[in-house]
Amino acid sequence: MKTYVCELCGYEYNPKHGDPENQIDEGTDFEDLPEDWVCPLCGATKEDFEQVNNTDDDNDDEIGSEI
């Protein structure tokens, strides 16, 4: 899963955490967010988000196994 960042305000959408304030469950991929989802901080649409390039390549990081 990829982290996406809002180009307008810098908010990061982390699929591991979801967006509880907008009823988005943990583990929801950015691509699976509803089309009408907007940035919780500034109201930008999904089109205003950019994928963040992780420094690690595609490691299989599992939820809850940090450290």
Give the binding site for Zn ion (CB under 5 A).
Answer: 6, 8-9, 11, 39, 41-42, 44
Separation between Cα atoms, residue 22 and residue 43, nearest integer Å? 12
Nearest distance in Å: CB 64, Zn ion:
27
* Pick 23 or 45: Cβ nearer Zn ion: 45
Residue 38 CB, shortest distance to Zn ion, in Å, is 8
For Zn ion, give the closer residue by CB, 36 or 62.
36
Give the residue among 12, 9, 6 at the shortest CA–CA distance from 49.
6
| Of residues 13, 46, 43, the one with CA closest to residue 27 | 13
Which residues have C-beta within 8 Å of that of residue 59, sequence separation ≥ 6? Answer: none
CB of 66 to Zn ion, least distance (A): 25
